[in-house]
Amino acid sequence: MIMTDTFTLIIVGILAAIAAFLKMRFSGKSIKRSPKPPKNTVADVARKISDEEFQEKLKAIVGDVEGDSPADDLASRGNARKR
């Protein structure tokens, strides 16, 4: 019986020492927050250019569809794109 009680006390003591060590080690440190990332102006410019190109191509396709011969206009646009 005495051996079991002593063993239990030793285990509890070791766990208490580990808990005290960890509390002292991490209690004084605050959580470091990373600053906001810088605004990605390159991506914004690329997105703006891409959107402008898309709108120009869309207007050209709408113009082809509304023209006199939409099939020929769209076919020539498709053939030019493949080349």
The pLDDT assigned to 29 comes to 63
How many separate domains does the chain show?
Answer: 1
The pLDDT assigned to 51 comes to 96
Quick check: is 58 in a domain? Answer: yes
Quick check: is 23 in a domain? Answer: no
Quick check: is 2 in a domain? Answer: no
Quick check: is 45 in a domain? Answer: yes
Q: Report, as ranges of residue numbers, the positions in the chain whose pLDDT lies below 70.
A: 1-3, 28-31, 82-83
**Residue 56 lies in domain:** 41-83
The pLDDT assigned to 18 comes to 93
| Contact present, 36 and 53 (Cβ < 8 Å) | no
Tens of pLDDT along 35-50? 887 888 899 999 999 9
The pLDDT assigned to 16 comes to 94
